[in-house]
């Protein structure tokens, strides 16, 4: 939520900031703003709504300023209006601040600052920061000798020590035009190193066009960027030794490459993502003698395991539900899946030898991080069998989650820009297949030939997705034409495909704004069937296996209530052709592997309906890709 970017160097900052913000717009798009310093004057421009509004405000003026900060906002405190847009300034309009996160004690600070004569113009928590810095700056200036070059840095450091919450900040001051201060406390911030120019940003796509040399700040660290270099300190003011590393991301990965939307491009990238996961998680030669699985997890993760608990949100929670199915059915480990936002306030009783898994594509979801740190805390100091064991499944190993947990499964989907998760979901499923098989193998639950058979089945998945993608796309586009004005949708699935029904409904809700519900097909008769009539289409996932006939019967019950039935199903199997009004074909595979195929038409259907409705598919209203507030 919210994206921040900063630049100091020799080029004009404005365009660098604007193009950086474009790449961060997935983090929020309620308003945007930039502040630059030229000839010791601060110039701040802000606009409500998307970045193009800010761009059109700025384009009328030339601004060669070589330092600046920028922000794209997902509103938390205060409506999405221009006065609440960042950057925020002090009363003298010399200091500008952008923030991603929440300053939890802003009310107390605001009251205290008011008694010192400060007046506020916005409803935001952020505005206290430039005022607080201004207050400390006055004191620092009074105390400092003429040679001190850390006056501004010290004022920011002291202000930051007063803040409570989770935040990343970038600050500039017109009186110190050669300094940009970047601060990280539980919200992501990376520093970029160019030739005589330096950057900071909430995420690497914002700076990849300029540099691949980066240094992610850790919590409790702040960086002083000047035209001469970067110094990193902790909040106590002690210099930190850090190592720059090179990103593998390339600038083209964050382009649409001919697709109309990032979401469609990312749906089409799924075969490649599955291949990348197969290459990373499984040995290429299944000779049966050695382990077929290369997750690289130490025995301490698995030893004497009594249960697994998984915390996640949204689409990652749906992936976790499939994970539960796999972990229980393949590896025989009792597994619970919790919404991270609920777990924190009502944790399950402590069970010894528990593995806790956080699933988050961004690695920054505040609810998931909070649930994991609560789990860590409540197990601290207990006897060994109760001690915490944490594993993360994420697409961003460099994220806050990556810093928090000792073991990570990297989901290798590549950067996902569309706000609706697609390829990262599929990659999370691949991580769960590998984890469940690894566990099954180590616990000697699954005979080696079954294991090899499942892995062989997984190896066919990329080809199966590829061979149906085009047909599915045409069919879903056609259906989108018919259903673009529909008000309610029901998605049905059972067993391992029930979470896919939930995911289908979530995809449709979030990008097309159509009301949709996912149900386990057998539950319809216990209430929701009352919703059905000719105006409510039902999408049923019917794949061969233990529940195929049951799903077909449940679909028929819906048909008897006049619902139009869309089957996501192998077309030549069983009664499908007689039951469904429309069919989106998926290849017949082992039931256990079917979610990797059935999810694709769900994504395409939602995509085409939203595109048909003329909606902003990649940046749906009210949403942000990285949900860094609880
Ligand atoms: C839906 C979607 C969200 C996220 C959720 C968790 O398409 O993207 O529901 O899945 O906000 O995000 P992560 O996985 O980053 O923790």
Give the pLDDT confidence of 219-256 residue by residue, as tens digits. 999 999 999 999 999 999 999 999 999 987 777 777 88
Q: Is the pLDDT of residue 146 over 80?
A: no
Ligand 1, atom 12, residue with closest C-alpha: 360
| Token pair listed for 604 | 């395409």
Class of domain 465-615: alpha beta
Best residue among 627, 628, 629, 630 to mutate for probing ligand 1, ranked by most atoms within 8 Å of CB? 627
pLDDT at 289: 42
Class of domain 258-446: alpha beta
pLDDT at 285: 62
C-alpha 43/C-alpha 53 separation (Å) is 17
Residue owning tokens 């030339």: 62
Q: Is the pLDDT of residue 3 over 80?
A: yes
pLDDT at 291: 59
Q: Is the pLDDT of residue 290 over 60?
A: no
Q: Does residue 418 line the site of ligand 1, with CB under 6 A?
A: no
Ligand 1, atom 15, residue with closest C-alpha: 362
Residues assigned a catalytic role:
2, 625
Tell me the average pLDDT across 514-526: 94
**CA neighbor of 541 nearest in space, from 471, 594, 581:** 594
Task: Return the DSSP state at 83.
Answer: G
Q: Band the pLDDT of 574: cuts 50, 70, 90.
A: confident
% of residues, the chain, pLDDT over 90: 82
Q: Is the pLDDT of residue 286 over 80?
A: no
Average confidence score pLDDT of the chain: 93
Q: Band the pLDDT of 374: cuts 50, 70, 90.
A: very high
C-alpha 386/C-alpha 307 separation (Å) is 12
Tell me the average pLDDT across 16-26: 93
Class of domain 3-247: alpha beta
Residues 6+ apart with CB under 8 A from 401: 358, 360, 363, 364, 368, 369, 372, 392, 394, 408
Residues 6+ apart with CB under 8 A from 67: 7, 8, 9, 13, 36, 37, 172, 177, 178, 180
Q: Does residue 598 line the site of ligand 1, with CB under 6 A?
A: no
Residue 331 Cα to ligand 1 midpoint, Å, equals 26
Determine the atom of ligand 1 nearest the C-alpha atom of 507: 7
Q: Does residue 372 line the site of ligand 1, with CB under 6 A?
A: no
% of residues, the chain, pLDDT over 70: 99
Q: Is the pLDDT of residue 154 over 70?
A: yes
pLDDT at 46: 96
pTM for the whole structure: 0.85
Best residue among 1, 358, 365 to mutate for probing ligand 1, ranked by most atoms within 8 Å of CB? 365
pLDDT at 60: 73
pLDDT at 61: 76
Tell me the average pLDDT across 456-475: 95
pLDDT at 403: 85
Residue owning tokens 């391992």: 496
- Cβ-in-10-Å burial (0-12, 13-18, 19+) of 412 comes to buried
Ligand 1, atom 10, residue with closest C-alpha: 315
C-alpha 588/C-alpha 235 separation (Å) is 57
Q: Which tens digits make up the pLDDT trace of 45-60?
A: 999 999 999 999 998 7
Q: Does residue 360 line the site of ligand 1, with CB under 6 A?
A: yes
Secondary structure tally for the chain: helices H, strands E: 18, 24
> What is the residue extent of each domain of the chain?
3-247, 258-446, 465-615
Tell me the average pLDDT across 539-547: 95
C-alpha 29/C-alpha 75 separation (Å) is 9
Tell me the average pLDDT across 52-73: 91
């Amino acid at each position: 939520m919210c994206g921040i970017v900063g630049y100091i160097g020799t080029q004009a900052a404005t365009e660098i900031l604007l193009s950086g913000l474009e790449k961060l717009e997935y983090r929020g798009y309620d308003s945007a703003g930039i502040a630059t310093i030229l000839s010791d004057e601060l110039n701040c421009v802000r606009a409500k709504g998307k970045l193009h509004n800010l761009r059109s405000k700025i384009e009328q003026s030339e601004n060669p300023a070589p330092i600046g900060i920028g922000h794209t906002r997902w509103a938390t405190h205060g409506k999405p209006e221009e006065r609440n847009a960042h950057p925020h300034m002090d009363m003298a309009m010399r200091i500008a601040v952008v923030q991603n996160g929440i300053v939890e004690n802003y009310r107390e600070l605001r009251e205290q600052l008011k008694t010192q004569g400060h007046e506020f113009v916005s409803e935001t928590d952020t505005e206290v920061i430039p005022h607080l810095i201004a207050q400390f700056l006055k004191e620092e200036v009074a105390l400092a000798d003429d040679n001190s070059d850390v006056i501004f840095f010290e004022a920011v450091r002291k202000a930051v020590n007063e803040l409570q919450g989770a935040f990343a900040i970038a600050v500039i001051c017109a009186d110190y035009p050669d300094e940009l201060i970047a601060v990280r406390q539980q919200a992501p911030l990376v520093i970029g190193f160019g030739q005589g120019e330096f950057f900071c940003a909430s995420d690497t796509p914002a700076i990849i066009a300029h540099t691949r040399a980066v240094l992610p700040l850790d919590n409790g660290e702040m960086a002083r960027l000047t035209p001469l270099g970067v110094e990193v300190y902790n909040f106590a003011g002690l210099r930190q030794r850090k190592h720059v590393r090179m990103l593998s991301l390339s600038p083209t990965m964050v382009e649409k490459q001919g697709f109309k939307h990032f979401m469609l491009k990312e749906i089409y990238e799924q075969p490649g993502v599955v291949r990348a996961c197969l290459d990373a998680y499984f040995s290429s030669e299944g000779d049966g003698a050695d382990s077929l699985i290369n997750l690289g997890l130490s025995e301490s993760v698995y030893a004497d395991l009594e249960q697994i608990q998984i915390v996640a949100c949204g689409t990652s929670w749906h992936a976790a539900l499939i994970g539960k199915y796999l972990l229980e059915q393949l590896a025989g480990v009792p597994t619970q899946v919790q919404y991270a936002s609920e777990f924190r306030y009502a944790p399950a009783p402590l069970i010894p030898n528990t593995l806790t898994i956080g699933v988050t594509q961004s690695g920054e979801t505040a609810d998931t991080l909070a649930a994991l740190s609560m789990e860590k805390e409540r197990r601290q100091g207990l006897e060994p069998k109760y001690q915490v064991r944490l594993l993360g499944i994420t697409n961003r190993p460099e994220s806050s989650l990556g810093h928090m947990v000792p073991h990570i499964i990297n989901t290798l989907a590549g950067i996902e820009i569309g706000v609706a998760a697609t390829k990262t979901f599929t990659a999370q499923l691949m991580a769960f297949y590998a984890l469940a098989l690894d566990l099954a193998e180590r616990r000697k639950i699954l005979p080696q030939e079954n294991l090899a058979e499942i892995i062989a089945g997984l190896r066919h998945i990329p080809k199966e997705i590829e061979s149906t993608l085009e047909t599915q796309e045409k069919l879903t586009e056609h259906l989108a034409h018919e259903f673009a004005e529909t008000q309610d949708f029901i998605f049905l699935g059972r067993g391992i495909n029930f979470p896919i029904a939930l995911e289908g409904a979530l995809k449709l809700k979030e990008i097309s704004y159509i009301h949709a519900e996912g149900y386990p097909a057998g539950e319809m008769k216990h209430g929701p069937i009352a919703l059905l009539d000719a105006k409510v289409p039902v999408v049923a996932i019917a794949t061969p296996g233990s529940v195929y006939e049951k799903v077909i019967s449940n679909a028929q019950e819906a048909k008897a209530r006049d619902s139009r039935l869309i089957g996501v199903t192998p077309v030549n199997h069983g009664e499908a052709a007689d039951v469904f009004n429309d069919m989106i074909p998926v290849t017949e595979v082992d039931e256990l592997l079917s979610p990797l195929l059935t999810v694709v038409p769900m994504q395409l259907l939602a995509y085409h309906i939203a595109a048909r409705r003329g909606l902003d598919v990649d940046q749906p209203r009210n949403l942000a890709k990285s949900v860094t507030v609880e």
